[in-house]
Structure 1
C-alpha cells in the first residue's frame, strides 16, 4: 500500500517546491529561537565553512555568557543546541578548515564547566555531548597543523581545570600531536605545577575547592593521573607504576592495571608478581583482577593453573563467563561431568538469589525449579526487579516454582506493609490462581486455597491489597 501524499516525509515535502518550503520555514521559525539558530547555521554553512565557523563561534560565546539555571525539562533543548554546534564544527568546518574547527572545539569544551554548574541533568545526556566533542577533537587534530609545545601548554591548562571530567583522556587524545618533545614538556610542566605554592583565587565564583587542603588534594590527584597518562603515551610502564605507593599496589584493581601494562611490555614475571600483590575479596568489584590474572597465567603457559583459577572464580561468584571458559578447555564428556558438578555447586550456593539467577541464565530450569521449591524460605521477596521475571521463566516448566516466587513477593509486601506494591501483589495472587489449575502435587507446600485462607486470616484489614484481587 503506497504511503499517503499527506504523510510528512522528505519526498512529499519536496513536491511543495523550494519557494513554498522557504515561506513555510520562515513562518514556522517565527518566535522559535532554536529553529532560527538552526536555519542561520545552515545558511552560513551553505556560504562557506568560514561563515559557518563565525556563526558557531558567536553562538558559543553567547552560551558562555549565560547564567540562567537549566532545569531538567530544559536539558534536552540545551543539548540539542550544543549538538547542532558540534555537528557544524565537525562536519561543515573541519573538512576545509581543520585548524579553525580545532579552535572551536577548544571553545566548545570550555563551556562544560558553565553548563554543568547551572544544570540539572541526571541522565548524563549533556556529559555525553562533551564526550563526543573529545572524540571529534581526536579526529580533527591530526589535520590542524598544531604545534607540539603549544598543544602541551593547552593540555596543561585543561588538566588544571578539569573539575567535571570534561578533559578526561585529553593527554591520550593529543599525544600523537605533542609527540615526544611535547610530552616531555608537558611532564615537566605538570611536575612544576605540583610543586607550586597554593594561592586561592580572590573571586568567590571560582572558589570551588573551599580551602587550601581541598585544593591541594584536587591538584595532587590530577598531577598523578596526568603523569600516568603521559607515561602510558610514552610507553613508560615504570613511570606509570611510580605514581602508586606500595600500599596502593595491593588494591586489586590497581594491581590489575599494573600487571596488564607489564604484560603488554613483555615483562611476564614482573606482571605475575604485581598481580599477586592483591587478592580478590569481592568478585563484583574486582573482576578486572581475575581477568588480568588469567591473562598472566596464560602468558606463563601454566594452563593447569589457569583452569584451577577459573574454577575458583566460578565458585566465588558463580560467574558464567569463567565457567564457560573452564568447560571449553575440557575434553569431551569431561565437560559434561564438570558442568553437572557446577550445577550442584550452584544449587547449594550461599546467596540464593544469585544461585537462582545463574541457573536461569544457564537454562537449567529443572535445577532452578527444584532450588526454588526446596529453598523457598531463603528467597528475598523484596527483590521486585528480579523475581517477577524469574517466576515468568519458570511458569511453563514448573508452575509450582513460579507460584512459590509469587508467594514470596506477596508475603514480603504484606508483612512489611508495602502498600505501593499492593497492586502488583494482587496481580501476583491472580497469577497464582491460574497456576493452581496446572498443579497436582504441592510437594508438602500449602495448596492455593490453603495459602489464600492463610492470607485472609493474617491480613484481613489490608483492604488496599484485597481490592486488587478479583
Structure 2
C-alpha cells in the first residue's frame, strides 16, 4: 500500500470536511458561487446553461423569461400570459408520475412573475399572480396532490402577492383589495380568500375605511338563502375580513357585532373579552368571558395534526387565563389566585402553579408547593402526573410515582415514558429501568420493526442502571430470539 504523502498528513484538521474547503488537487474551490463561477470563461457558462435548458423545461422557462426581460415587461408578461391561458384551458388529469414535472413548471411560472416581471412592473406582476391564484381550484382538481406539494406553489404565490401589495401606495392597495373581492366571494375557501385575509394586516391605515365600505357593499349583494352553503361561506369570509379591519381600527363594538354575526352562540368570548379588557372595559370583559359557549370542536394545532392528538383543553385553558387577567385588572387578586389554584388542581397546569406561587406572600410558597406535589402524586391520570413531575422537575417524586404505580405504565405511551426514563437515569435508576423495560417489551411484543432501533437504544441505556439486566436480556432472547433485525442492532449472538 502506498504511503500517504507527508504534506497531506500535515494538513490542518480545521479544513477537513468543510464544504468550502479547497480541493487538494490544484487548490481550486468547486462549490458554485459568484466567486467561483466568475472564474469560468463566458463560453463555458453559456454551454452549461444551454445544456441544462435542454434537460430541464422549467429551467428553460426561467432563462427564456430572463432574456425576455431585456426587451421590457410586455415581453415577460406575454410569456406568463401564454402559460396561464394554457393552464386555464387544460382538462387532462395529472397523475403522480407526471406531478413532479408539472409542479416544477408551475413553480417556474411563479418564479418568472416574481423574479423577472415584478422588478419591471409590480402591478403587472400582481395581476398575473391573481390570475394564477384564481385558477387554483381548477388546477388542483386535476392533480394527484395527496402530499400537498402542488398546493404549496399556490401558497408561495399568495405570499408573494401579499408582499407586493404591502409596497403599494394606499390608493393602489385599497383598489387591489376591492378588485379581488368578487373573486373571493366566488371561491371563499380558495387561495384568494386566504390572500384577502392576509392582506388586511399589510394594508396602510388610510386604505381601511374604503375597503370596509366595499366589503359591506359586497356582503349586501350576497343572498341569505337557507341551504346555500357556498353563499354562507362567502359571507363568513367577508365578515371575518370586516372583523379584522375593525380589530386594526380598535373598534371593539364592531368586532363583537361581527363575531356574533359569524359565529352566533359559538362566538369566541375569550377573544371578545381580551379586546374589551384592552379597551379599558374590564367589567364587560369579565361578564363576557364567563358566558357559556356552545361546545364545538377543539382547535387543531399543527402539532396535533402531526401527532394525531388534539388539545381538547386549549379552550378551557385560554378562558381561565383570560379570566385571571381580568380579575387582576379589577383588583380582585384573591379570586384570581383561587382560579389559578383550581386550574392547577384540575389539570396540573404547571404555568398556573408558577403564577400562583409567585403571587403568594413570602414564606407561604413552600407549604403551597408541598400541597401541589401531594395533588400531583394523587392525580387520577398517572401519565399527566408523571409529565408534570418530570418537567417541574421533582425527579425524586417522579421516581416514587413510577414505582408506586408500577403496574400502570404501558410502553405504547412512549412520548411520556421515554423522556421520563432518560430524566430519571441518574436520580432514580430503578424507576428508569422499569420504564425502559416497559418500552422494550411493548416494541418487541408488538413486532414494531420500525421501532427496533429505539428498542436497541433503550436496551443499551438499561444495561448500566439495571442490576437485573442479564436476566431481562435472557428473557428477551427466549421470547424474541427470532427477531433478527432487532438483535443485529444490539449485537446479540
TM-score normalised per structure 1? 0.78
Cα distance, 1:230 vs structure 2:
0.9
Distance 2:70 2:370 in 1: 67
Distance 2:263 2:62 in 1: 52
Contact map agreement 2:61 2:108 (CA 8 A) in 1: no
Query: What is the aligned partner in structure 2 of residue 325 from structure 1?
Result: 355
SS in 2 for 1:243: helix
Q: 2:39 aligns with which of 15, 24, 46?
A: 15
Q: 1:247 aligns with which of 239, 242, 265?
A: 265
Query: What is the aligned partner in structure 2 of residue 52 from structure 1?
Result: 76
Query: What is the aligned partner in structure 2 of residue 154 from structure 1?
Result: 180
Distance 2:274 2:182 in 1: 27
2:459 corresponds to 1:430: yes
Q: 1:380 aligns with which of 374, 399, 410?
A: 410
Show the 5 A alignment for 1:298-309.
298-309=328-339
SS in 1 for 2:379: coil
Show the 5 A alignment for 1:104-119.
104-119=128-143
Q: 2:482 aligns with which of 460, 463, 468?
A: 463
Contact map agreement 1:89 1:105 (CA 8 A) in 2: yes
Query: What is the aligned partner in structure 1 of residue 168 from structure 2?
Result: 143
Distance 2:185 2:383 in 1: 44
Cα distance, 1:87 vs structure 2:
4.4
Query: What is the aligned partner in structure 2 of residue 185 from structure 1?
Result: 214
Query: What is the aligned partner in structure 1 of residue 436 from structure 2?
Result: 406
Query: What is the aligned partner in structure 1 of residue 282 from structure 2?
Result: 268
TM-score normalised per structure 2? 0.75
Q: Deviations over 1:346-375 (max 9, x none)?
A: 233222222222322333332322222222
Query: What is the aligned partner in structure 1 of residue 449 from structure 2?
Result: 420
2:126 corresponds to 1:97: no
Query: What is the aligned partner in structure 1 of residue 325 from structure 2?
Result: 295
Cα distance, 1:40 vs structure 2:
1.6
Query: What is the aligned partner in structure 1 of residue 346 from structure 2?
Result: 316
SS in 2 for 1:195: coil
Cα distance, 1:401 vs structure 2:
1.7
SS in 2 for 1:168: helix
Contact map agreement 1:34 1:81 (CA 8 A) in 2: yes
Contact map agreement 2:188 2:237 (CA 8 A) in 1: no
Query: What is the aligned partner in structure 2 of residue 218 from structure 1?
Result: 230
Distance 2:40 2:350 in 1: 59
SS in 1 for 2:322: helix
Q: Deviations over 1:172-203 (max 9, x none)?
A: 6256586323422322322321336xxxxxxx
Distance 2:158 2:219 in 1: 21
Contact map agreement 1:410 1:429 (CA 8 A) in 2: yes
Provide the alpha-carbon RMSD of the alignment: 3.6
Distance 1:421 1:103 in 2: 49
Query: What is the aligned partner in structure 2 of residue 359 from structure 1?
Result: 389
Contact map agreement 1:109 1:133 (CA 8 A) in 2: yes
Cα distance, 1:113 vs structure 2:
1.3
Cα 1:129–1:296 change in 2 (3 A) is: farther
Cα distance, 1:23 vs structure 2:
1.6
Query: What is the aligned partner in structure 2 of residue 3 from structure 1?
Result: 22
Distance 1:93 1:139 in 2: 14
Contact map agreement 1:191 1:223 (CA 8 A) in 2: no
Contiguous gaps of at least 5 residues in structure 1: 197-211, 441-446
Q: Deviations over 1:35-70 (max 9, x none)?
A: 211212332345544443333333333344444545
Query: What is the aligned partner in structure 2 of residue 201 from structure 1?
Result: none
Cα distance, 1:451 vs structure 2:
4.8
Q: Deviations over 1:311-346 (max 9, x none)?
A: 333333333333333334345554454444433332
Cα 1:439–1:385 change in 2 (3 A) is: closer
Cα 1:75–1:403 change in 2 (3 A) is: farther
Contact map agreement 2:344 2:352 (CA 8 A) in 1: yes
Query: What is the aligned partner in structure 1 of residue 372 from structure 2?
Result: 342
SS in 2 for 1:397: coil
SS in 2 for 1:143: coil
